[in-house]
Structure 1
Amino acid sequence: MSSHPVDRAVFRKSSYSEGANGCVETCVRDSHHLIRDSKNPGRGSLTLERDVWAAVVSQIKQGAYDL
């Protein structure tokens, strides 16, 4: 993990999360993916390297984080 300024970052929210509770937003900055809570964007973001982001997305698709 590393720190990148997010003042000019453009975050996106998935169209699948419209109306959903507890959404996240993502942004690509250089070779990193930034993730933040859509309800509290001013509280900061998590920065992941490209390979870590790919692993997280893969795990999500496999249902690893389903409740």
Structure 2
Amino acid sequence: MTIADLSQARWRKSTRSNGGGQCLEVGYVSEVVGIRDTKDRHGGTLAVDRATWASFVRTIKQGHLDG
């Protein structure tokens, strides 16, 4: 398994975040997208390739994950 180096990632949080403490940040670097909890930025980070992230976002926008 390869560990992604996200030390140079530019992290951003959704403009729709309401300050309720349940936010995620997304960071992009090269071909890797990192996802982390804003409450624990030094905790675990999920790293996926850009194609996987794009597919996930597309699925959300299409409403396929609505419960």
TM range (shorter): 0.7 to 0.9
Identify the residue that residue 39 of structure 1 maps to in structure 2. 39
Question: Does the CA contact (< 8 Å) of 1:2 and 1:48 recur in 2?
Answer: no
Q: Which letter maps to 2:11?
A: F
2:17 aligned with 1:17: yes
**CA 1:35–1:2 in structure 2 vs 1: closer, same or farther (change >3 Å)?**
farther
Partner of 2:57: 57
Q: CA deviation at 1:32?
A: 1.1
More displaced 10-residue stretch of structure 1: 9-18 or 37-46: 9-18
Moved over 3 A (4+): 64-67
**Equivalent residue pairs, number:** 67
Q: Which runs of 5+ in 1 are unaligned?
A: none
Q: Percent identity?
A: 36
* Larger helix fraction of residues: 1
**Alpha-carbon distance between aligned partners in 1 of 2:37 and 2:15, rounded to the nearest angstrom:** 15
TM-score of the aligned structures, taking structure 1 as reference length: 0.79
Bigger RCO of structures 1 and 2 (CA < 8 A, at least 6 apart): 1
Partner of 1:29: 29
- The normalised TM-score by structure 2 is 0.79
Matched residues in 2 for 1:62 and 1:20: separation? Answer: 25
Paired residues of 1:2 and 1:47 also in contact (CA < 8 A):
no
